[in-house]
Amino acid sequence: MELQELINDICEEIETTSLNKQRKRYLNAYLEELLEYQKHHPDADTIPSSLELFCDLNPNALECRIYND
């Protein structure tokens, strides 16, 4: 599955009325992160991991630092 497919699937699932509030809230937050990631990486096809999403939104976080040996 590619990034755009995942975004489309999430949008379709959000539109279903049978979702509970918690699931809908989770999907909306995840969708926002994916769309922001897609803005920063327009050529990306693969689905980013949760760490990649976090570091994309929080590049100065300790977990996202890269050290050169």
Residues 2-13 pLDDT 10s: 999 999 999 999
pLDDT of residue 67: 80
Q: How many domains does the chain have?
A: 1
Domain assignment present for residue 24? The answer is yes
pLDDT of residue 1: 79
Helix, strand, coil percentages (3-state) for the chain, rounded to 5, are 65, 0, 35
Residue 33 lies in a domain: yes
In a domain, 48, yes or no: yes
* Rounded Cα–Cα distance for residues 47 and 64 (Å): 18
In a domain, 12, yes or no: yes
**Can you give the pTM of this predicted structure?**
0.84
Q: Is 69 part of a structural domain of the chain? A: no
At 16-68, the pLDDT tens digits run: 878 899 999 999 999 999 999 999 999 988 999 999 999 999 999 999 988 88
Q: Which residues touch 44 (CB under 8 Å, ≥6 apart)?
A: 3, 37, 38
Domain that holds residue 22: 3-64
